[in-house]
C-alpha cells in the first residue's frame, strides 16, 4: 500500500506506507527506497479509473532493486479536487500576498468562494507581512474578519507566523492554493527545508508572479502531515449553481435566518434581509450574474428550437422546429420558373 505523491505523464511516484504489503514478498526489504515509480494497470485504464496525487493505491509485483511497480487498485477517495487535481485533501491553505503583488479583494473573494464550494476546511494566510506596516496588517485582518475569515500573518523573511502554521498543518493533508507570485513555494521551502522548490520573481510590467510550479506534488512535513504544492492561477472557475452561491458566503449565512423568502437570490426580492450594506455584496451580485448567464443562454437556445403547438380539446405542447427550408416543399410556380431558366440557358 502507498500514496501517490506526484504524477508526470503516465508515471506515478508512490510513497509506501510503513510495513505495507499483502504478503512477505510484497514487503520492502530493509534499506530499500520508500518510494516506487509506478505505472497503471491496463484494466484500470479500460474502466476509466484515473490516478490522482493523494490517492491511496495498492501496488502489485514491486521491483525493489529497480524501484518500480504497478498500481493495481485505487482505494475510495474521501475528497477530490479538479483544479488542482488532487485527492483525499482535508484542508485548503489559501495564500495571498499583502504586497508584491498587492492584495485584490475581488480576486480573494473569488478564491474563497471556490474553496468553500469544495466543502473542505479553509485556512487563510497573508504572506509578505513584513512589506507593510503593522497598522496596515491590522486593517486587513479586521477587514477579513468582517468577511467571516480569521487570517494568519506570514513572512518567510522574518519567520512570523511559521510556528502557528506548522501546527495547523501537522498530521493533515493540505493543498496550498493562491495566485502566482504570492510566495507559496518560498513558504514551503521554509516549512520543509529539503523541498528545494524553485522560486520565481515578480513581473515588473504586470506586477504579477511568474509560474514556477508546473505540476502537483505532495511533500512530507518534518513533524508529520503532507503538503501539496500546486501551480498558481489567477482566476479559479466558479462551479457552483446560482442557488448554492449564497451558501459559500459566511456573511449571507449569518443573515439567512432573517430572510422571509425560500430560494431567494437576495437581489431583486423586496424586503430581503440579506440585501444590505456589507462589503462583498457587490462581489456576490457579480458572481450570481456570471453563473446565471450560461443558464439563460441555454434556455434561449432551447426555446429557439421548439414551438408551442395547439392540440385537441384546448391542449398544447412543445414540438421541435424543423430546420428552415430543409423540409419545405417547393411550390409549383418555383418549379416552372426553374424549368424556364434551364431552357433559357440551354438556348
Binding residues: 127-130, 178-186, 259, 264, 266, 272
Answer whether 59's CB lies under 8 Å from 69's CB: yes
- Helix segments in the chain, DSSP class H: 42-46, 105-117, 134-147, 162-169, 184-191, 250-255, 281-304, 332-346
Question: What does DSSP say about strands 306-310 and 85-87: parallel, antiparallel, or unpaired?
Answer: unpaired
Report the Cα 151 to chain-centroid distance in Å: 21
Answer whether 278's CB lies under 8 Å from 251's CB: yes
Please spell the DSSP secondary structure of 82-138, one letter per residue: ETTEEES--EEEEEEESTTTTPPHHHHHHHHHHHHHTTS-EEEEEE-GGGS-HHHHH
| Binding site per annotation, positions for Zn(2+) | 259, 264, 266, 272
> How far is residue 289's CA from residue 305's CA, in Å, rounded to a whole number?
24
Answer whether 111's CB lies under 8 Å from 142's CB: no
| Binding site per annotation, positions for GTP | 127-130, 178-186
Instruction: Give the chain's radius of gyration (CA, Å).
Output: 29
Cis peptide before 101 (omega within 30 of 0): yes
51 CB burial (10 A radius; 0-12, 13-18, 19+) = buried
What are the Cα distances from residue 156, in Å, to 62, 114, 182, 210? 40, 26, 11, 18
Answer whether 188's CB lies under 8 Å from 156's CB: no
User: 3-class DSSP state for residue 54?
Assistant: coil
> What nine digits make up the cell of 53?
496525487
State the number of CA atoms in the 13 A half-sphere of 7 facing the CB. Answer: 19
124-127-128 Cα angle (round to 5)? 165
Amino acid at each position: 500500500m502507498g500514496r501517490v505523491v506526484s504524477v508526470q505523464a503516465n508515471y506515478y511516484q508512490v510513497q509506501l506506507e510503513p510495513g505495507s504489503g499483502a504478503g512477505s514478498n510484497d514487503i520492502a526489504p530493509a534499506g530499500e527506497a520508500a518510494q516506487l515509480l509506478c505505472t497503471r494497470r491496463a484494466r484500470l485504464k479500460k474502466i476509466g479509473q484515473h490516478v490522482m496525487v493523494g490517492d491511496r493505491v495498492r501496488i502489485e509485483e514491486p521491483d525493489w532493486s529497480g524501484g518500480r511497480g504497478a498500481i493495481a487498485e485505487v482505494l475510495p477517495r474521501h475528497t477530490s479536487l479538479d483544479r488542482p487535481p488532487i485527492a483525499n485533501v482535508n484542508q485548503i491553505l489559501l495564500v495571498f500576498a499583502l504586497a508584491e503583488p498587492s492584495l485584490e479583494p475581488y480576486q480573494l473573494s473569488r478564491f474563497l468562494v471556490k474553496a468553500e464550494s469544495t466543502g473542505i476546511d479553509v485556512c487563510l494566510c497573508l504572506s509578505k507581512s513584513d512589506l507593510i506596516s503593522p497598522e496596515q496588517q491590522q486593517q486587513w485582518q479586521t477587514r477579513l474578519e468582517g468577511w467571516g475569515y480569521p487570517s494568519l500573518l506570514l513572512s518567510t523573511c522574518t519567520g512570523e507566523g511559521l510556528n502557528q502554521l506548522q501546527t495547523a498543518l501537522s498530521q493533515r493533508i493540505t493543498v496550498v492554493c493562491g495566485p502566482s507570485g504570492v510566495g507559496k513555494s518560498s513558504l514551503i521551502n521554509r516549512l520543509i527545508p529539503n523541498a528545494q522548490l524553485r522560486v520565481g520573481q515578480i513581473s515588473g510590467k504586470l506586477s504579477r508572479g511568474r509560474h514556477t510550479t508546473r505540476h502537483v506534488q505532495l511533500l512530507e512535513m518534518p513533524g508529520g502531515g503532507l503538503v501539496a504544492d500546486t501551480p498558481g492561477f489567477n482566476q479559479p472557475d466558479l462551479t457552483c449553481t446560482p442557488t448554492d452561491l449564497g451558501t459559500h458566503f459566511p456573511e449571507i449565512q449569518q443573515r439567512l435566518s432573517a430572510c422571509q423568502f425560500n430560494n431567494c437570490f437576495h437581489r431583486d426580492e423586496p424586503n430581503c434581509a440579506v440585501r444590505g450594506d456589507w462589503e462583498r455584496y457587490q462581489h456576490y451580485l457579480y458572481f450570481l450574474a456570471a453563473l446565471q448567464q450560461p443558464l439563460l443562454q441555454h434556455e434561449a437556445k432551447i426555446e429557439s428550437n421548439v414551438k408551442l403547438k395547439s392540440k385537441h380539446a384546448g391542449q398544447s405542447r412543445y414540438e421541435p422546429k424543423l430546420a428552415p427550408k430543409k423540409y419545405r416543399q417547393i411550390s409549383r410556380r418555383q418549379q416552372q420558373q426553374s424549368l424556364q431558366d434551364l431552357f433559357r440557358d440551354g438556348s
